[in-house]
Amino acid sequence: MEIKKVLFFKPGAIGDLLQALPALKALKQKFPAAHITVMVSPGLESLIQGTPVADRVQVFDKEKFKKRLKDFIDFTVQLRAERYDLFIDMQTSTRSLVLRRLSGAGLVLVYRKQRKYGPTGARLHAAENFMETLLPLGIVGPVTNIELPLKHDAIQAVGRFLADRGIERTKPLIALNCSVGEARPARNWFPERFAALADRLVKELNVAVIFVGGGQDRDLVRNVMAAMNEKAISAAGELSLEHSAALLAQCACLVSSDTGPLHLATAVQTPVVGLYGSTDPRRTGPIGRGHRVLIKELPCVPCEEKNCPLGARTCMQEITVDEVFEAVRKAIA
């Protein structure tokens, strides 16, 4: 069967999309002449639009389709008209089942999330799990890194952003992400510790510190910076996703729990100090060289829960400022 048109279906969170990039890259290498459409969630299209990662990027708006069945039916009709040769479903759901059944694609591959460990207790990283989906195409191989192409205009815009805020480029730039959002509070480290860490980084390592995050993180970052004695800069809610990627690419290190910015930094080859507790770094940890993961050996780790079942977040409580500071020092040495 000749593969000329491919649909790579991957709506979902930013981390999931980034961890699927190695599989997408391998797919393009296997079928260099094929036209590949990547379908993502609203807001993520800017990350890969106009890059070599995809020939076309489309948005799959799940919330819109929930409200109007007719919109989903129309979308399905339009998708079928594309006459894809290959449909790769990397975000399985009831809707994706309908889409792939009605797509008319000659070949359909479906991602299966590893939910049980192997006989040796080994657990696949999410990126390796996505790659496993392509085995029927003869695509194999380890995942050694994740690569997100940066856009030239985004790099220039970030340069202006830093210059306007008086960031001294002679100093290493350290990014701190102090929130994973309200949906998964078990993953959060503590605001007062981020403030203490930032002070030590500026004073003892002579670096510049910049806080990253979305618009919903502005107040939290403002409070953390108010508790500091040293100067720092906030980019929380100030940059688009593609500009955030360009910013992180210019940083010497990022400190973050398991959430979007951590995976974004990993994808632009910036060393990460990952703070893990409820989630398993074997599954969602940073891939590549220079990263450091801090996780405590506790009976409940990892619990994979959104909220701490014990209410104490001991896994995060036991990660100290001293440990994180030392990990950053080593990462930028």
User: Both 100 and 201 in a single domain?
Assistant: no
| Burial classification of residue 214, based on how many CB atoms lie within 10 Å of its CB (0-12 exposed, 13-18 middle, 19 or more buried) | middle
Instruction: State CA 227 to chain mean position distance.
Output: 28
User: Both 171 and 120 in a single domain?
Assistant: no
Which of 109, 137, 165 is the endpoint of a domain? 137
Examine residue 121 and state whether it is found in any structural domain, yes or no.
Answer: yes
Q: How many domains does the chain have?
A: 2
pTM for the structure as a whole: 0.93
Q: What is the reported pLDDT for 118?
A: 64
Torsion over CA of 96, 97, 101 and 107, rounded to 10 degrees? Answer: 80
User: Both 191 and 93 in a single domain?
Assistant: no
Examine residue 208 and state whether it is found in any structural domain, yes or no.
Answer: yes
Domain span at 45: 5-137
User: Both 132 and 158 in a single domain?
Assistant: no
User: Both 164 and 311 in a single domain?
Assistant: yes
CB of 136 within 8 A of CB of 30?
no
Examine residue 147 and state whether it is found in any structural domain, yes or no.
Answer: no
User: Both 37 and 172 in a single domain?
Assistant: no
Q: What is the reported pLDDT for 212?
A: 97
Q: What is the reported pLDDT for 169?
A: 80
Examine residue 143 and state whether it is found in any structural domain, yes or no.
Answer: no
Q: What is the reported pLDDT for 168?
A: 73
Q: What is the reported pLDDT for 121?
A: 67
Quote the CA–CA distance of 239 and 330 in Å, as a whole number: 28
Q: What is the reported pLDDT for 170?
A: 86
Q: What is the reported pLDDT for 311?
A: 86
User: Both 270 and 316 in a single domain?
Assistant: yes
Q: What is the pLDDT along the chain (333 residues), one digit of tens a residue?
A: 789 999 999 999 999 999 999 999 999 999 999 999 999 999 999 999 988 989 999 999 999 998 889 999 999 999 999 999 999 999 999 999 999 999 999 999 999 998 777 666 678 999 999 999 999 999 997 899 999 999 999 999 999 999 999 887 889 999 999 999 888 889 999 999 999 999 999 999 999 999 999 999 999 999 999 999 999 999 999 999 999 999 999 999 999 999 999 999 999 999 999 999 999 999 999 999 999 999 999 999 999 999 998 888 999 999 999 999 999 999 998
User: Both 79 and 178 in a single domain?
Assistant: no
User: Both 69 and 178 in a single domain?
Assistant: no
User: Both 108 and 251 in a single domain?
Assistant: no
Which of 111, 137, 163 is the endpoint of a domain? 137
User: Both 167 and 101 in a single domain?
Assistant: no
Which of 82, 109, 137 is the endpoint of a domain? 137
Examine residue 142 and state whether it is found in any structural domain, yes or no.
Answer: no
CATH number at residue 310: 3.40.50.2000
